[in-house]
A and B are shown apart, each in its own frame.
Chain A
């Protein structure tokens, strides 16, 4: 046992010496693996980062969050909602009044408008909601206050500005108390929202204006259908219950016979997250397979160089055999060389991947999550590639005839 361990040690010495004698070639051989492993790590880090950022955005909706859209799902997919929405503000009120598992509900109607303040103007989205909105979105005013139920009842011309809008219309600050004109209708600014920053889809969440839905209906949109109803369940474990109650209520209100298609659809935060997860996993699989292919090409590079190396060193193999190397020794030597090349290449690739990830994070400001599992898998695959692609050249070397090998010029 001691003997065989010692001899394996000797083979590693022989292999390491062979690698260090050809530093440039060894480096070029490794390059494929270096790039492959580096790619896997960076690509997975970018994918994970994007996935996590989107997940964070979805999670920030709150775990109780439920959205109700007009339109129906049919066999052919979702029908998009147009001007003739099937949901009304009264549906929202009814949900609030009759569904005990629902804590907050607001209708949500969206319109785009140019917002003018003095000399400055800013094109943005205007959302008509009720005072439940800050509770559903867990989003408060940094300045001023959100409008009240009485503002909704009397359709007061008040609004709350997103941070970006406030910044652009009132660069000096002091937006609260000022008047802005939306589609020529003067609105009094009662509050400015906390800054949330961009979401990962590239939208600036602070680029919006919030107003009572009644005001938006009467003054801006000119119609009484809502684009979406947002609700939140009383507790995270009541989401399903709330969805069931809302569904039953809306079916009854819309007079939908049992078994017929519904004219609305509902999504909980969990469902959105799950759908997103599925999309991301498709994306991740795609990225990993591309990186995997580059690893494979790296492996073929190793096999190529090892085959050249075996031919080039035929005489060396002959010498080694003449002085007593067995086929097994030669096989082990070349296999060890291939594995060492791929492992060292893998290690350099890990450093490169980690460095590249940092670079992407710091220079491009992308969200990056380096996952340890991607490092371990990339490294494992690199080592396996070394064994797999190193074996054939090594066996070729081991099977050489010592007489022919010695005569090889």
Chain B
């Protein structure tokens, strides 16, 4: 099985005037294709920095990072933008949907910037398919303000899926959700993982991390623990019907 993420001796140093801060201090991490990895750690552990580098938002100071077989550690801004578009699907804690923009248009967004050059109808169809995969039939035309938090996060997951990326990179995806909705969202990640999608989850909550297959613990810029866990399975049968629309905001 090839590695989808290969990180070797990765360092990230921020210089704050005279002081050098080593946010990452020699990280080695390989992720199998189709795996479901949770990266755990308290705040200040360097997990956000690691996520930014894995997500190609930032460049490492040293070491190498191969994503889907491509060395991305030396790429420039525009090249990283292309990689983000094609190979990474982001899911954020605060959903980060465009306001006053319908679900389907939010999901279409990555295709507008892509190199694929899809026609309008193809984009619309891909966005619809992605929304259906996360169980949002009938919510295509709703704006984020007309959706519950869980529904908004599902739109965000659909947006992450629409380019068929190598990895789904979720940064505290349940941080703004109640426990029941968090379960639902984790269920969706599990379902997508079952379908073969590689998922990397950043979280500081141990019980959320237990929904992954593998938990990597980061502390002080180093990997402290790396273990296979007994995955807590969410019953995905019950989560498909959308919650009634409630006017928020």
Residues of A near any B CB (own CB < 8 A): 2-3, 6-7, 10-11, 13-14, 17, 21, 315-316, 318-329, 402-403, 406
Q: Are A17 and B110 in contact (CB under 8 A)?
A: no
B residues in contact with A11, CB < 8 Å: 112
B residues in contact with A6, CB < 8 Å: 117, 119
* A405 to B, closest residue via Cβ: B57
Q: Are A326 and B58 in contact (CB under 8 A)?
A: no
Which applies to chain A's interface (DSSP): helix, strand, loop or mixed? Answer: helix
Q: Are B117 and A324 in contact (CB under 8 A)?
A: no
Instruction: Tell me the complex Cα distance, A218–B57, Å.
Output: 102
A residues in contact with B114, CB < 8 Å: 324
A residues in contact with B159, CB < 8 Å: 323
Q: Which of B52, B84, B96, B97 contacts A324 (CB 8 A)?
A: B84
Q: Are A315 and B96 in contact (CB under 8 A)?
A: yes
A residues in contact with B99, CB < 8 Å: 21
Instruction: Tell me the complex Cα distance, A109–B193, Å.
Output: 107
Q: A17-B101, A316-B98 are in contact. Are A322 and B55 (CB under 8 A)?
A: yes
A residues in contact with B58, CB < 8 Å: 403
Instruction: Tell me the complex Cα distance, A321–B99, Å.
Output: 16
A residues in contact with B86, CB < 8 Å: 324
Q: Which of A2, A3, A324 contacts B113 (CB 8 A)?
A: A324
Q: Are A2 and B82 in contact (CB under 8 A)?
A: no
Q: Are A402 and B57 in contact (CB under 8 A)?
A: yes
Instruction: Tell me the complex Cα distance, A320–B92, Å.
Output: 13
B125 at the interface (CB under 8 A from A): no
Instruction: Please give 5 more A-B residue pairs, beta carbons under 8 A apart, in addition to A323-B90, A324-B82.
Output: A3-B115, A21-B99, A21-B100, A320-B113, A323-B85
B residues in contact with A328, CB < 8 Å: 78
Distance of B129 from chain A, by nearest CB (Å): 17
Question: How many residues of B are in contact with the other chain, CB < 8 A?
Answer: 30
Count A-B pairs with CB separation below 8 Å: 70
Q: Are A326 and B57 in contact (CB under 8 A)?
A: no
Instruction: Tell me the complex Cα distance, A6–B116, Å.
Output: 10
Q: Which of B101, B105, B109, B117 contacts A323 (CB 8 A)?
A: B109
Q: 1/0 per position for B73-97, CB-CB distance to A under 8 A? A: 0000110011011100010100011
Instruction: Tell me the complex Cα distance, A326–B90, Å.
Output: 16
Q: Which of A7, A17, A316, A322 contacts B84 (CB 8 A)?
A: A322
Instruction: Tell me the complex Cα distance, A315–B119, Å.
Output: 27
Distance of A292 from chain B, by nearest CB (Å): 36
Instruction: Tell me the complex Cα distance, A406–B92, Å.
Output: 10
Residue among B105, B112, B117, B159 with the most chain A CB within 10 A?
B112
Instruction: Tell me the complex Cα distance, A315–B93, Å.
Output: 13
Distance of B57 from chain A, by nearest CB (Å): 5
Distance of B224 from chain A, by nearest CB (Å): 24
A residues in contact with B117, CB < 8 Å: 2-3, 6-7
Instruction: Tell me the complex Cα distance, A326–B79, Å.
Output: 8
Q: A315-B96, A319-B98 are in contact. Are A326 and B78 (CB under 8 A)?
A: yes
Residue among B98, B113, B115 with the most chain A CB within 10 A?
B113
24 CB-based A-B contacts, threshold 8 Å:
A7-B112, A7-B117, A11-B112, A14-B112, A17-B105, A21-B100, A318-B96, A319-B97, A321-B84, A322-B84, A322-B96, A323-B85, A323-B90, A323-B110, A323-B159, A324-B82, A324-B85, A324-B114, A324-B163, A326-B77, A402-B57, A403-B52, A403-B58, A406-B92
Instruction: Tell me the complex Cα distance, A2–B118, Å.
Output: 11
A residues in contact with B98, CB < 8 Å: 316, 319
B residues in contact with A315, CB < 8 Å: 96
Q: A315-B96, A323-B84, A324-B81 are in contact. Are A10 and B57 (CB under 8 A)?
A: no
Residues from 188 to 227 in B contacting A, C-beta threshold 8 Å: none
Q: A3-B117, A316-B98, A403-B52 are in contact. Are A326 and B109 (CB under 8 A)?
A: no
Instruction: Tell me the complex Cα distance, A9–B86, Å.
Output: 20
* A20 to B, closest residue via Cβ: B100
Instruction: Tell me the complex Cα distance, A14–B111, Å.
Output: 12
A residues in contact with B57, CB < 8 Å: 322, 402-403, 406
Instruction: Tell me the complex Cα distance, A329–B117, Å.
Output: 14
Q: Which of B81, B92, B119 contacts A321 (CB 8 A)?
A: B81
A residues in contact with B84, CB < 8 Å: 321-324
Instruction: Tell me the complex Cα distance, A320–B97, Å.
Output: 10
A residues in contact with B109, CB < 8 Å: 320, 323
Q: A3-B117, A324-B84, A324-B86 are in contact. Are A319 and B96 (CB under 8 A)?
A: yes
A residues in contact with B112, CB < 8 Å: 7, 10-11, 13-14
Q: Are A327 and B105 in contact (CB under 8 A)?
A: no
B residues in contact with A316, CB < 8 Å: 98
